[in-house]
Amino acid sequence: SSELTQDPAVSVALGQTVRITCQGDSLRSYYTSWYQQKPGQAPVLVIYGKNNRPSGIPDRFSGSGSGNTGSLTITGAQAEDEAVYHCSSRDSSANNPGVLFGGGTKLTVL
């Protein structure tokens, strides 16, 4: 099916490690991209490709994938990492060069 599924909410203690996951058939064919969105702001790309970070994104953010699941890991979560994280990939449906987004995961840093 043409959809990406994320847990609605995840929490992590300050300084600990958290993994946010994304599931979907398209992830068997395409890498997962991850966007961070803070309240009232536009999304910001944090991870793309096999495990690439745009300039300015801290190295505590990393990405991985296996089968139909993509993961975003934050190693040593900081207070400023509290945000909604959206996963995305190309749609692998036949003849559809579209884009899929997950519903977003709200990360709370305790």
Which positions touch other proteins (CB under 8 A)?
Answer: 30-31, 33, 35, 41-45, 48-49, 52, 54, 86, 88-90, 96-104
Residue 38, both tokens: 């803070």
Min CB(53)–other proteins separation in Å? 12
Which is nearer to other proteins, 76 or 90 (by Cβ)?
Answer: 90
Buried b (16+ CB within 10 A) or exposed e, 4-18: bebeeebebeeeeeb
CA–CA separation, 72 and 58 (whole Å): 13
Which is nearer to other proteins, 41 or 66 (by Cβ)?
Answer: 41
